[in-house]
Amino acid sequence: MRLKEFSKIPTGPIKMKKVVITREVFSETIELLSTHFDIVANQQDLIFKRDELFDLISDAEGIQTATSDRVDDEFLDAAPLVKVIANTAVGYNNVDLEACSRRGVIVTNTPGVLDATVADYAIGLMISACRRIGEGERYVRSGQWKGMRFKQLLGVDVYGGTLGLLGFGRIGQEIAKRANGFGMRVLYHARSPVDPATEASLNASYVSKDKLLQSSDVVMLILPYSKETHHMIGENQLSQMKKHSVLVNIARGGIVDDKALINALKNQTLFAAGLDVYEGEPKLNPEFLELENVVLSPHIGSGSVSTRRAMAMTAANNLVSVLSHNQAPLNPVNRS
């Protein structure tokens, strides 16, 4: 067992509620929580087996989780005192909300603080895939580049193209703002259209999913994963896209049928893809590694220093609000 490698923050003589932080965070997050709780913090960022983690959370009233933590009935059975699961992410498909609600456990997330950072990264993935930046870097690093050739590594233009956004929440709208700077026509599909004023300000038009797939030069996914969105993009949907179009997934693995995408990239019925998420991550289909026309990124869309600091503090403040101040959570995602 490696439990001794977790750091326990000393507290005073008064017994305090226990909070476990399952993955590494920043020092200011530890400092904030340690003024309110008895803290067990994983600043070594160890990856624990389930039984090891279960030992740690057995008497915890609050748990600050990461997307790598699977919070289900088994997890909750191991933490009978838990009142709050503070997920350090905007997405929460790693958490069984029904199980938490059934047991009266509050679940929170970190919305808002990462919108701009993820939008920036989405644009970066789009440009990298369209202009073959990853392929070009590998070409240079391997020593193959011997001089400029007129038709070498030709990509597709971003400026003036059509961007189709599947999902049009806060992050999707931030992406649309940036796309306007590239002179792109913006189409979107969501459960319902946004208000006309927002559409006008973003030069965005609501269309059906089929219309979006058929009309877009770049299709970008920025919507939550759920049973309803599982394999939303599969063989049929990929076949509707333009032959020289690009797919970008900045949302969650499982929304795309990765095997169907690999086949489309192999057969060159799509020009390229830019991926920050995968089915079954951190494992991914090894066939992706054999393809030049895909940009592969390790789920770092929100990975800037300031954003990750804000995410960790948002999760911590949710714990403080509920467990220390006996107030409603700042960012609830379920009805406990």
pLDDT of residue 5: 46
> Do residues 209 and 312 share a domain?
no
Q: Of these residues, 24, 52, 281, 287, which one is catalytic?
A: 281
Q: Are residues 269 and 154 both part of a single domain? A: yes
Query: 3-state SS string over 60-92?
Result: CCEEEECCCCCECHHHHHHCCCCCEEEECCCCC
Residue 75 lies in a domain: yes
Question: Tens of pLDDT along 155-206?
Answer: 999 999 999 999 999 999 999 999 999 999 999 999 999 999 999 999 999 9
Residue 213 has pLDDT above 50, yes or no: yes
For residue 186, what is the domain's CATH number? 3.40.50.720
- Kindly state the tokens that stand for 204: 């965005």
Has this prediction a pTM greater than 0.85? yes
Of the residues 103, 178, 299, 309, which is catalytic?
A: 299
Domain total for the chain? 2
Sheet holding 18-21, edge to edge: 7-8, 38-41, 18-21, 62-65, 84-87, 106-108
Q: Is 252 a catalytic residue?
A: yes
**Is there a catalytic annotation at residue 189?**
no
Residues 55 and 83 in one domain: yes
Q: Are residues 129 and 242 in the same domain?
A: yes
Q: Which of 252, 287, 292, 325 is catalytic?
A: 252
Question: What Cα–Cα distance (Å) separates residue 74 from each residue in 136, 176, 297, 309?
Answer: 46, 40, 31, 30
- Whether residue 52 lies in the annotated active site: no
121 Cβ contact list (under 8 Å, min separation 6): 250, 276, 297, 300, 301, 302, 303
In a shared domain, residues 164 and 52: no
Taking only the tens place, the pLDDT of each residue in 19-78 is: 999 999 999 999 999 999 999 999 999 999 999 999 999 999 999 999 999 999 999 999
Domain membership of residue 160 as a residue range: 115-296
56 in the same domain as 128: no
Q: Is the peptide bond before 282 cis (omega within 30 degrees of 0)?
A: yes
Do 211 and 270 have their domain in common? yes
Q: Is residue 334 part of a domain?
A: no
> What was the pLDDT predicted at 14?
55
- Does 138 share its domain with 278? yes
Pair 258, 316 in one domain: no
Kindly report, residue by residue over 106-133, the tens digit of the pLDDT: 999 999 999 999 999 999 999 999 999 9
Same domain, 278 and 210: yes
Do 70 and 300 contact (CB within 8 A), yes or no?
no
